[in-house]
Amino acid sequence: MDTSDPKANLPRRAGIRRGIYILPSIFTVGTLVCGYYAILSTLKGSQLVSAGTDVAMSMMAFDAAAQAIGWAILFDGLDGRIARLTNSSSDFGREFDSLADVITFGVAPAFLAYAWGIRMVEVSSATQSIHHLRQAGWIITFMFVICGAARLARFNIDSTKLSGDRRHFIGLPIPAAAGVIAAIVHWAKMPVTEWTIAAVWLGIIGTVALLMVSRVRYFSFKTIDLRRRRPYVMIIVIGAIVWAIWAFSEYVLLTLALTYGLSGPLARILSRIRPQSPAPEEVHAS
């Protein structure tokens, strides 16, 4: 057989193409695994809180759940980036990614938010106000799931439009919303024990949920081309950020999550405060 014949390499090329299409889905599976582990770890922490046996073990379980959500954010960013770099995007991959995001960035952080922020307060007190707090916790954490699912549905519709703005997201992305919850839990670690702090916590969850379905713009990072040449200083900056996350993950991740979460509302406020430049005068032909 003549190996120089281009048709002879078609089966091999088809196999490579199928492998490339599978590659982004592997990272999506990694996102799902992290979400499932976060749910199991949160359940373990909630059981330890209910038993009242070992607070340190419950802290470790909740922190493990928060870290799993953090790793899921990394995998979610990689699967989309790899799909675009290898030109292997597909309808299946988009739908699969959305379903994984509902579980990992919707259900898992909502479950974590309730177990970490409400459960210990509920166990330690049985007053009428705690009963109302528990009901509010159910409603607000479920609102987080609903808003996240609606945010994903809107994103899927907008992504099919050729005229869409790829520089910005409309509404806070659901991975970033989950990142706010995970970063706070990872930073504080100790479950909430006072109903006043629990009420503030529910206010934060509700605000993040509403930001997901808002019309606030957030920078998407999709226009950053990793294939272009960059100054060597960028390698130093990226290395410094990675080292800072490794050494001081609680403070660095919290800062990154809150900075991105607040960037959209602050940009909108500044755009309204900043004086608008006057429109150019219309020139009429003589």
- The reply to whether 3 falls in a domain is no
pLDDT of residue 146: 96
Q: Tally Cβ neighbours within 10 Å of residue 56.
A: 10
52: which residues sit within 8 A by CB, 6+ positions away?
A: 123
- The reply to whether 5 falls in a domain is no
pLDDT digits (tens, 9 = 90+) for 30-76: 999 999 999 999 999 998 888 877 788 999 999 999 999 999 999 98
Q: What value does the mean pLDDT take over residues 200-228?
A: 85
Mean pLDDT of the chain: 82
Specify the pTM.
0.82
**Domains identified in the chain, total number:** 1
- The reply to whether 10 falls in a domain is no
Inter-residue contact 125 to 194 (CB < 8 Å): no
- 194 phi-psi bin (left φ>0, alpha ψ -120 to 50, beta other): beta
pLDDT surpasses 60 at 111: yes
pLDDT digits (tens, 9 = 90+) for 185-211: 999 999 998 889 999 999 999 999 999
- The reply to whether 6 falls in a domain is no
Higher pLDDT, 274 or 118: 118
109: which residues sit within 8 A by CB, 6+ positions away?
A: 38, 69, 144, 177, 178, 181, 182
Residue 89 three-state SS? coil
Inter-residue contact 135 to 113 (CB < 8 Å): no
- The reply to whether 279 falls in a domain is no
Residues constituting the chain: 286
- The reply to whether 176 falls in a domain is yes
Of 14-23, 114-123, 251-260, the least confident: 14-23
pLDDT digits (tens, 9 = 90+) for 172-189: 999 999 999 999 999 999
**DSSP character at residue 160:** T
- The reply to whether 280 falls in a domain is no
Q: Give the C-alpha distances (Å, rounded to integers) separating 228 from 131, 225, 246.
A: 56, 6, 27
Higher pLDDT, 28 or 85: 28
pLDDT of residue 184: 96
pLDDT digits (tens, 9 = 90+) for 233-242: 777 887 888 8
Structure token pair of residue 63: 């922190």
**DSSP character at residue 219:** E
Task: Quickly state the pLDDT bin for 90 (edges 50, 70, 90).
Answer: confident
pLDDT of residue 284: 41
Higher pLDDT, 72 or 275: 72
CA 28/CA 73 separation, integer angstroms: 10
Structure token pair of residue 251: 């403070």
CA 218/CA 238 separation, integer angstroms: 21
**10-51 and 108-117 helices, crossing angle to 10°:** 20
- The reply to whether 173 falls in a domain is yes
- Domain of residue 37 covers 16-273
